[in-house]
């Protein structure tokens, strides 16, 4: 993909449905009694893997024109065993496998869970460990750390589980398993993390009580179908927001974006850097906050990013790094050690590629240091087959002198097939 420097970006756009919420709408709709209608569903590979898994457990799911999905739920205790020769394949999706394990732990039948070959080496032991503490029977390679996994029937009991700063992804599967467990299941967070699971489960009739950093799940009789409106994915909106900030003479409005406070850390950071971002028309869709966002070109100043805000912006680190290259002063990002973004090499990738186009940036043991104000220069960039790197470097290309060529940019299609056309239309 060839990206050329731009002197202005203007227009009103929408972004695809939120991936995290799309996954949950399918799962909880499948576990609910009645038909759940989902508007704005993200028709991406990861979410389609979730649909495939529940279809194999005899849940009727219709995919209709206009990103509309109907889930004919079986009820909380109505899932059926999948064919022995057709395991549940969660594809490349981490969300699918984590939440699915929480659901399968409470089922009265055996299940086999696999992943695409490219994801087979990704560990799931962090999720398996607390589920086993609840009584779940999960076995697999390396003592259940790698797929394929076998989940066998067992009697679950509630536990109290303390999350560390970096293992936030454990919360949702434990709370979901708590729907099937005797007694209370409590998860205590170190910092406030994404709460899409708590919000949507309660929307479907669950009894999840949240008190500060503590979330408690109770065994229930059933969930009940709802109409779900999926808001635009704020993690996708982040790329266009950053483009509007960095490109001169820009004025972009993004409509109908999910504005869950656990996902807006990068907005808080940008505002502290002097970004001109207006949030308006705030409203509720189901239990989720939704808003429109307007962004205009801004002169940014450097800042320090660390501590409790990190879980609220962890997915946006690559694009924040791009913004920091244009901020006046030195930006430091700390406390990334232990997060998937660090362990997967994504931090190293964004540092390497931004350095290629002239940024003054280096990786530290637990973060990144960026000296801002350097003029970027177009060159050939690697995507590492990572959509977030490809999209972040595309935004960098908009402000780099000359042309920026991004190799294997087709990986963006997995996250947002219309990303480049939409960028071209601004």
Which residues line the annotated binding site?
19-20, 24, 94, 315, 342, 346
Alpha carbon distance 81, 377 (integer Å): 56
Beta strand 288-296 with 251-258: parallel, antiparallel or unpaired?
Answer: antiparallel
Alpha carbon distance 115, 100 (integer Å): 12
Helix or strand (DSSP H, E) at 102: helix 94-104
Task: Tell me the backbone φ, ψ of residue 399, rounded to 5 degrees.
Answer: -110, 0
Annotated binding residues for 3-phosphoshikimate: 19-20, 24, 315, 342
Alpha carbon distance 376, 397 (integer Å): 8
C-alpha distances (whole Å) from 57 to each of 24, 86, 91, 145 are 16, 10, 16, 24
Query: What stretches of 254-295 show up as alpha helix (H) in DSSP?
Result: 265-272
C-alpha distances (whole Å) from 54 to each of 47, 74, 177, 198, 342 are 11, 10, 17, 21, 32
Sign of CA dihedral 141, 145, 151, 152: positive
Annotated binding residues for phosphoenolpyruvate: 19, 94, 346
**Catalytic residue flag (residue 315):** yes
- Name the catalytic one among 308, 315, 386, 413: 315
Q: Which residues contact 151 (CB under 8 A, 6 or more apart)?
A: 101, 104, 105, 107, 110, 111, 112, 113, 136, 137, 138
Q: Report helix angle 387-399 to 317-324, nearest 10.
A: 20
Nearest to 242 by CA among 372, 392, 115, 410: 392
Q: Is the peptide bond before 148 cis (omega within 30 degrees of 0)?
A: yes
List active site positions.
315
């Amino acid at each position: 993909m060839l990206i050329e420097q731009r002197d202005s970006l203007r227009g009103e756009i929408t972004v695809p449905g939120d991936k995290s919420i799309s996954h949950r709408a399918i799962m909880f709709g499948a576990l609910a009694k009645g038909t759940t209608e989902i508007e704005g569903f993200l028709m991406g590979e990861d979410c389609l893997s979730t649909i495939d898994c529940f279809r194999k457990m005899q849940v009727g799911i219709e995919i209709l024109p206009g990103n509309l999905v109907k889930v004919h739920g079986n009820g909380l205790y109505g899932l059926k065993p999948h064919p022995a020769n057709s395991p549940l394949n969660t594809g490349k999706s981490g969300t699918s496998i984590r939440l699915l394990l929480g659901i399968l732990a409470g089922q009265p039948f055996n299940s086999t869970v696999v992943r695409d070959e490219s994801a087979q080496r990704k560990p799931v032991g962090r999720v398996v460990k607390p589920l086993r503490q609840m009584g779940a029977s999960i076995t697999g390679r390396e003592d259940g750390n790698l797929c394929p996994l076998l989940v066998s029937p067992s009697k679950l009991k509630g536990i109290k589980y303390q999350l560390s700063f970096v293992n936030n992804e454990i919360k949702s599967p434990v709370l979901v398993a708590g729907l099937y467990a005797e007694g209370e299941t409590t998860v205590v967070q170190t910092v406030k993390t994404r709460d899409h699971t708590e919000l949507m489960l309660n929307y479907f009739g669950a009894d999840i009580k949240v008190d500060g950093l503590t979330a408690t799940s109770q065994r229930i009789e059933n969930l009940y179908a709802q109409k779900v409106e999926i808001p635009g994915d704020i993690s996708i909106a982040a790329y266009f927001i950053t483009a509007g900030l960095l490109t001169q003479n820009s004025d972009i409005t993004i409509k109908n974006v999910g504005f869950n406070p656990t996902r807006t850390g990068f907005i808080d950071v940008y505002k502290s850097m002097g970004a001109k971002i207006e949030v308006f028309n705030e409203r509720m869709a189901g239990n989720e906050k939704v808003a429109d966002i307007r962004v205009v070109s801004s002169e940014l100043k450097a800042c320090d990013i660390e501590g409790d805000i990190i879980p609220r912006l962890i997915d946006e680190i690559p694009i924040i790094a791009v913004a920091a290259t244009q901020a006046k002063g030195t930006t430091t990002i700390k406390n990334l050690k232990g997060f998937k973004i660090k362990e997967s090499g994504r931090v190293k990738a964004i540092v390497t590629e931004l350095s290629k186009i002239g940024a003054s940036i280096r990786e530290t043991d637990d973060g990144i240091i960026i000296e801002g104000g350097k003029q970027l220069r177009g060159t050939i960039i690697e995507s590492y087959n990572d959509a977030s790197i490809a999209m972040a470097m595309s935004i960098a290309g908009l402000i780099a002198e000359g042309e920026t060529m991004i190799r294997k940019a087709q990986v963006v299609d997995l996250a947002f097939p219309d990303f480049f056309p939409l960028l071209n239309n601004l």
